Amino acid sequence: MTAIVRQGFHFLPKARDIPGSFAIWAAILAEMTEFAVMFIVYFAAKVHNPELFYDGPTRLSTSAGTANTLIMLTSSFFVVRAVMAMRENQLKKCSQWLWGAVFCGVLYLVIKYFEYQWNTAQGLNTETNIFYGVYYYVTFNHFLHVGWGSVAIVWVIYRVNTGIYTKDDHEGLINIALYWHMIDLAWITIFPLLYVIR
């Protein structure tokens, strides 16, 4: 235990504890299941339409997909650092890391908006074929998650700044952090499926 404390791990959840609340885990597992259903639809559509799913990713912007993956991973990292700052009672730093995550969320949305515009200019839309139907359904669903996730982080920043959360009591922050990581997990799965694998 002493060694663990010395290495700075003392603030991690105890064994068998649930990080955050039961409610947020119910939401996370429900969302992960929803995305899993979309991935199963993707796999089923892929085996029935191999040519469309082989060509599909080549007409999408790999750069936009890669940039958004890097942005999502970085936003998740910022959220982790925000939680760590809160545990060290560094409220200002916590707030700054969270603003970093919000900035990443907004940047993601902007890139996605221009990616959709670029697709439209190329004549790609939900009706083009089943690959783009799946692509729009999954990515727009994720887009909405990033949108309301970013708003939730802004709400948490307000609560950090007004002193509602303390070093010892900040479950709301942990809950939003976990939810944001779930959004990240969904994206790191979407990226290879739709942009890379053929």
Partner 1 sequence: MTHIKIINYLWLLLIALTLFSAYMAEQSESGLNSIVIMALVLAIKGRIIVDHFMELKRSHKFLRTLMHVYFYVIPALILVVYLFPTHIAKWTTL
CA distances from 93 to 41, 78, 82, 88, 135 (A): 42, 11, 7, 10, 37
Whole-angstrom distance, CA of residue 176 vs CA of residue 153: 7
C-beta separation of 124 from 132 below 8 A: yes
CA distances from 187 to 123, 126, 136 (A): 24, 20, 14
**Mask 34-73, x = binds partner 1 (CB under 8 A)?**
--x--x---xx-xxx-x---x-------x--xx--xx--x
User: Does 26 engage in binding with partner 1 (CB under 8 A)?
Assistant: no
Whole-angstrom distance, CA of residue 173 vs CA of residue 21: 11
Measured from the CB of residue 143, what is the shortest distance to partner 1 in angstroms?
19
Which of 38, 115, 189, 194 lies at the binding interface for partner 1 (CB under 8 A)?
189
Which of 1, 2, 3, 15 lies at the binding interface for partner 1 (CB under 8 A)?
15
User: Does 76 engage in binding with partner 1 (CB under 8 A)?
Assistant: yes
Residues 6+ apart with CB under 8 A from 96: none
Whole-angstrom distance, CA of residue 89 vs CA of residue 112: 35
Measured from the CB of residue 48, what is the shortest distance to partner 1 in angstroms?
5
User: Does 103 engage in binding with partner 1 (CB under 8 A)?
Assistant: no
Measured from the CB of residue 140, what is the shortest distance to partner 1 in angstroms?
20
C-beta separation of 19 from 178 below 8 A: yes
Measured from the CB of residue 162, what is the shortest distance to partner 1 in angstroms?
25
5: helix, coil or strand?
A: helix
User: Does 7 engage in binding with partner 1 (CB under 8 A)?
Assistant: yes
Interface residues with partner 1 (CB under 8 A)?
7-9, 12-19, 25, 29, 32, 36, 39, 43-44, 46-48, 50, 54, 62, 65-66, 69-70, 73-74, 76-77, 79-81, 84, 178, 181, 184-185, 188-189, 191-193, 195-198
